């Protein structure tokens, strides 16, 4: 499948769709997942048009990894979770629902199940508050 530039993340990158921004640099953008699986669920996307890990140059993937590491540390501090799950899905069969490569940073607590992915929209005011806490931890 060829990259479809009408996907929601491409629209966010072009400023055609809103997001609750956490961080941005020349190569990446991080924002809150609007259908979070846990409090503080944050996404990191590259600014290159790529569906899967296989579509990226090593340098582009390195930039995504570097930002993911930075965001993960800030999420852990801001949300106060003892653990984090970092996920990156390739293909519908793996659970990918937006076909622009992205990393999920999902806070985890022992004994607390994650919500199902892409099921329920969060309150934007709650996401904005979480994003402010994460930005303060950067």
Report the catalytic residues: 102
Q: Which two tokens stand for residue 39?
A: 């409090």
What are the residues whose beta carbons fall under 8 Å from the beta carbon of 136, sequence distance 6 or more? 78
What is the Cα–Cα distance from 8 to 17, expressed in whole angstroms? 7
Q: For residue 123, give the DSSP letter.
A: P
Q: What residue has token string 């490569």?
A: 101
At CA 22, angle to CA 16 and CA 23, rounded to 5? Answer: 90
């Amino acid at each position: 499948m060829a990259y479809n530039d009408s996907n929601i993340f491409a629209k966010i990158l072009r400023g055609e769709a809103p997001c609750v921004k956490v961080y941005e640099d020349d190569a990446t953008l991080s924002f809150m997942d609007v259908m979070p699986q846990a409090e503080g669920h944050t996404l990191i996307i590259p600014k290159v048009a790529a569906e899967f890990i296989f579509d990226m140059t090593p340098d582009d993937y390195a930039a995504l990894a570097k930002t993911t590491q930075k965001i993960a540390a800030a999420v852990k501090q801001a949300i106060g979770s003892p653990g984090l799950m970092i996920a990156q899905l390739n293909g519908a069969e793996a659970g990918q629902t937006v076909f622009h490569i992205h990393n999920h940073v999902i806070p985890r607590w022992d004994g607390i199940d994650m919500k199902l992915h892409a099921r329920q929209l969060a309150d934007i005011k709650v996401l904005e508050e979480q994003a402010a806490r994460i930005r303060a931890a950067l």
